[in-house]
Amino acid sequence: MTKIYCLFVALLLATTAQAQSEARVATTEKLKVVFHLTSNDTLVHKALAKQLANFLVAAPKAKIEVVCHNNGIAFLQISATKQAEKIRELKAMGVDFVACENTMRERKIKREELVGECRTVPSGVVEVVLKQNKGWAYIKAGF
């Protein structure tokens, strides 16, 4: 039984060392990632903020853009978001937050109603496609 336990511990340590080594590799790359948010679920927003922070820990040189449209615009609305402080912190770490002007127009949302840390683009969907065409990785935010 002791031999099996020792073998298990050795395998676990080897796997952990490999995972840590792979994580260090990620920190040296200049990753470009666009996160696509279309949910107004505040739990999704909280999870996204945490994912962004974790991503930057593993890859601090990464360029990250969060594109919010449709129901996802709530993440950037002063009256709806519960993540305003996290958005400020993430913006200070280099995350770019983008609101869709089509959504804003359809929902009669004024620029002043959005957090100051975001910018706007004519079309959120087009912004996502443009980033992908420039080689950015795509991540759909949500559960």
**Per-residue pLDDT reduced to its tens digit, 17-68:** 555 555 554 555 789 999 999 999 999 999 999 999 999 999 999 999 999 9
Domain hosting 44: range is 31-140
Whether residue 8 is found in the same domain as residue 63: no
Cβ atoms of residues 101 and 130 within 8 Å: no
Sign of CA dihedral 60, 119, 141, 134: negative
Whether residue 22 is found in the same domain as residue 39: no
Whether residue 24 is found in the same domain as residue 80: no
**What is the helix (H) or strand (E) element at residue 121, kind and residue range?**
strand 118-121
- Measured from the Cβ of residue 32, the count of other Cβ atoms closer than 10 Å reads 14
**Per-residue pLDDT reduced to its tens digit, 57-116:** 999 999 999 999 999 999 999 999 999 999 999 999 999 999 999 999 999 999 999 999
Strands 96-100 and 118-121: parallel
Whether residue 132 is found in the same domain as residue 76: yes
